[in-house]
């Protein structure tokens, strides 16, 4: 979807610079027309439809009668004039784009949008475990980076109670999961546009969302809410792959997301305690499969971490077909170093089997 943006401002030099930047950085996002005279704008408005009119507050008495009117002001910090939204002229084009998207999300509840140009809705690859410390997040990020290198568009989404998105990824947007969750839970505004306005791209090319302002917000997200969020990301077709970094265990929330996943990568270590827990978990998963007939075991793939080998146990569903391989122990504690170690390992291509 291209947003039909119209701008009215008396500063022609400023408008020329702004339009050059918009067309250079967001040509696929905007259809732009700008004017310096009210009379010319009025003639255009009478004959054409548009989504947003950015208008200098010098012309505050003008009412277009259609679209969303947003005041374009000189001073930062002004968010409303006459109860209508306002934006500062002097900010980065990226911030301007995101704020316009958020305004459209708040005012355009019935607009159906598709911001990406992928041909698929987004294959869901979930990473999980049955205890902490297995290297699940390390593998999930390494997988995402590997797929981006292979030319895929990837969205990374953590459903953990205490995610580390802001530690892993670098972004500058003032919008994040808090804005998305509010739209989702309150059912106010346009969720797909909130997503498009909040999603960021880290230097490695991975799409992500900043962590919530307060982790308590995550406690209010039920499994069905996460499922609705995943479907909304699929609907805007922004990515080929959606990576879910999930908490451990087989809670109801996790199982609901397993149902949506195309594959579930189970990251595990190889020691006596881990093996016992894995055996117990697989017994539970097999029991649930028999009771609910969701095919959980069929979706599982196993990745050994910090070990050179991993035993096959067909009795509980770990076979040569779903055990992808192992990454050896390298004594690395920092997350960024661990991710790079996985990517530089000779076995890193096994991640592409997911």
The CATH code of the domain that includes 139 is 3.40.50.300
Contacts of 273 (CB under 8 A, 6+ apart): none
Give the model's pLDDT for residue 119: 56
pTM of the model: 0.79
The reply to whether 89 falls in a domain is yes
Of 50, 83, 107, the one marking the end of a domain is 107
Given this model, what pLDDT does residue 127 score?
A: 96
Does 232 map to a domain? yes
Identify whether residues 209 and 301 lie together within a single domain: yes
Would you say residue 238 lies in a domain?
yes
For residue 306, is it left (φ>0), alpha (ψ between -120 and 50) or beta?
Answer: left
Residue 94: give its domain's CATH number. 3.40.50.10850
The answer on 171 and 287 residing in a single domain is: yes
> Does residue 15 belong to any structural domain of this protein?
yes
Q: Is residue 118 part of a domain?
A: no
Q: Residue 264 has what pLDDT?
A: 95
Residue at which a domain ends, from 107, 139, 167: 107
Distance, CA of 165 to CA of 336 (rounded, Å): 12
CA distance 134 to 316: 20
Of 107, 131, 165, which closes a domain? 107
Whether 116 maps to a domain, the answer reads: no
- Domain residues for the domain of 149 are 123-353
Query: Do 42 and 127 sit in the same domain of this protein?
Result: no
Number of domains observed in the structure of the chain: 2
Residues 99 and 144 both lie in one domain: no
Q: Is the domain of 190 the same as that of 329? A: yes
Examine the domain organization and report whether 128 and 255 are in the same domain.
yes
Contact (Cβ atoms closer than 8 angstroms) between residue 275 and residue 304 = no
Q: Return phi, psi of residue 312, to 5°.
A: -80, 135
Pair 153, 299 in one domain: yes
Helix ranges (H only) for the chain are: 12-25, 38-47, 93-107, 136-149, 165-168, 177-186, 191-198, 216-219, 223-235, 252-260, 272-292, 296-299, 335-344
pLDDT of residue 159: 94
Is the residue at 162 inside a domain? yes
Same domain, 130 and 80: no
319-323 own/partner pairs: CB under 8 Å, 24+ apart:
none
DSSP character string of 121-175 = S-EEEEEE-SSTTSSHHHHHHHHHHHHHHTT--EEEEE-SSS--HHHH-----S-
Looking at the structure, tell me whether residues 156 and 291 fall in a common domain: yes
92 and 141 co-located in one domain: no
- Residues 68 and 130 grouped into a single domain: no
Residue by residue, pLDDT tens for the chain (354 residues) are 678 999 999 999 999 999 998 888 877 788 899 999 999 999 999 999 999 999 999 998 899 988 999 999 988 888 899 888 999 998 888 888 888 888 888 876 545 555 555 555 789 999 999 888 889 999 999 999 999 999 999 999 999 998 888 889 887 777 888 888 888 888 776 788 788 888 889 999 999 999 888 888 888 888 899 999 999 899 888 899 999 999 988 889 999 999 999 999 999 988 888 888 888 988 999 999 888 888 889 999 999 998 888 878 888 788 888 999 999 888 777 888 888 889 999 889 989 888
330, 243: one domain? yes
114 lies in a domain? no
């Amino acid at each position: 979807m291209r947003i039909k943006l119209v701008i009215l401002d008396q500063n022609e030099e400023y408008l020329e610079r702004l339009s050059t930047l918009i067309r250079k950085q967001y040509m696929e996002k905007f259809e732009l027309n700008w004017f310096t005279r009210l009379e010319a704008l009025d003639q255009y408005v009478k004959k054409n439809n548009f989504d947003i009119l950015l208008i200098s507050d010098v012309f505050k008495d003008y009412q277009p009668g259609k679209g969303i009117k947003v005041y374009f002001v000189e001073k930062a910090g002004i968010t409303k004039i006459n109860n209508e939204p306002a934006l500062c002229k002097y900010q980065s084009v990226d911030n301007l784009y995101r704020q316009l998207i958020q305004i459209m999300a708040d005012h355009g509840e019935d607009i159906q949008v598709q911001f990406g140009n992928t041909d698929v809705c987004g294959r869901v690859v979930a990473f999980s475990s049955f205890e902490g410390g297995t290297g699940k997040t390390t593998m999930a990020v390494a997988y995402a980076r590997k797929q981006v290198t292979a030319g895929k568009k990837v969205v990374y989404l953590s459903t953990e109670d205490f995610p580390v998105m802001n530690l892993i990824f670098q972004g500058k947007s003032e919008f994040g999961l808090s804005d998305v969750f509010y739209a989702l839970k309150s059912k106010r505004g346009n969720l797909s546009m909130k997503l498009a306005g909040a999603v960021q791209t880290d230097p490695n090319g991975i799409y992500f969302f900043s962590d919530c302002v307060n982790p308590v917000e995550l406690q209010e997200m039920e499994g069905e809410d996460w499922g609705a969020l995943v479907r909304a990301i699929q609907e805007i077709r922004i990515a080929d792959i959606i990576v879910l970094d999930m908490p451990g265990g087989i809670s109801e929330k996790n199982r609901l997301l397993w149902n949506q996943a195309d594959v579930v990568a189970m990251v595990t270590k190889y020691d006596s305690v881990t093996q016992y827990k894995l055996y117990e978990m697989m017994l539970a998963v097999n029991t649930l499969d028999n009771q609910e007939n969701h095919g959980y075991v069929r979706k599982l793939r196993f990745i050994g971490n910090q070990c050179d080998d991993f035993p096959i146990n067909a009795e509980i569903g770990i076979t040569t077909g779903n055990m992808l391989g192992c990454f050896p122990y390298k004594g690395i504690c920092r997350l960024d170093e661990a991710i790079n170690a996985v990517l530089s390992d000779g076995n890193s291509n096994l991640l592409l089997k997911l």
